[in-house]
Amino acid sequence: MREILFRGQTRRYGEKVRLNGEKIKSNWVYGGIFPQNGEGDFAMIYQQKPTVEKYPVYADTVGQYTGFKDKDGAKIFEGDILAFDDMDGSKGIYEVFYDGNNGKFAIAASGNRNYVDDFELFDELFERNEYFKWFTVIGNIYDSPELLKE
């Protein structure tokens, strides 16, 4: 059975700064979700272990766990940025998103969801787990969107 898990930010990157001006990292929480009612900027994520805790998170940062892990064992969430490093020397940067038209998670090259690459990785990625041995989570679109521009 696939693990149903969500993550969201309780604090955005740079929302708070230190006295020297250094931006403070974002704060992520993981668990189940109480979605927003269509209004408001927040949703609620709840954790059950070790005790039940509820956290208000920015609704636009909520992403679902895809059910897959990268080559280092890190869980891959909607909104993650992946680096692809194939054995034949192919390289690429991809954004993970939910494709509502096809009802499944997908990836987009350099964040361009209209871009189609030459290989059939896009259609098969979340159906064939063996591709993940070439992917590494290097960030996400909220904390490091500049990675999609490189």
> pTM for this one?
0.80
> For the CA atoms of the chain, what is the radius of gyration?
16
**How do residues 36-61 score in pLDDT, each as one tens digit?**
666 668 889 998 888 889 999 998 99
pLDDT score, position 106: 80
Which of 38-52, 110-124, 127-141 has the least mean pLDDT? Answer: 110-124
pLDDT score, position 1: 67
Q: What kind and span of H or E run contains 121? A: helix 121-124
What percentage of residues in the chain have a pLDDT greater than 70?
Answer: 75
What percentage of residues in the chain have a pLDDT greater than 90?
Answer: 25
- Looking only at the bridges linking them, the beta strands covering 104-109 and 75-77 are unpaired
Residue 93, pLDDT above cutoff 80: yes
CB–CB of 140/74 below 8 Å? no
Residue 65, pLDDT above cutoff 60: yes
Distance CA 36, CA 85 (A): 37
Q: Number of H helices and number of E strands within the chain?
A: 1, 10
Report CA-CA distances (Å) from 43 to 48, 73, 75: 17, 28, 21
Indicate the pLDDT class of residue 141, thresholds 50, 70 and 90.
very high
CA-CA-CA-CA torsion for 89, 72, 8, 10, nearest 10 degrees? -110
Q: What's the mean pLDDT when you consider all of the chain?
A: 79
Query: Within 13 A of 85's CA, how many CA atoms are on the CB side?
Result: 7
Report CA-CA distances (Å) from 72 to 68, 75, 116: 11, 9, 26
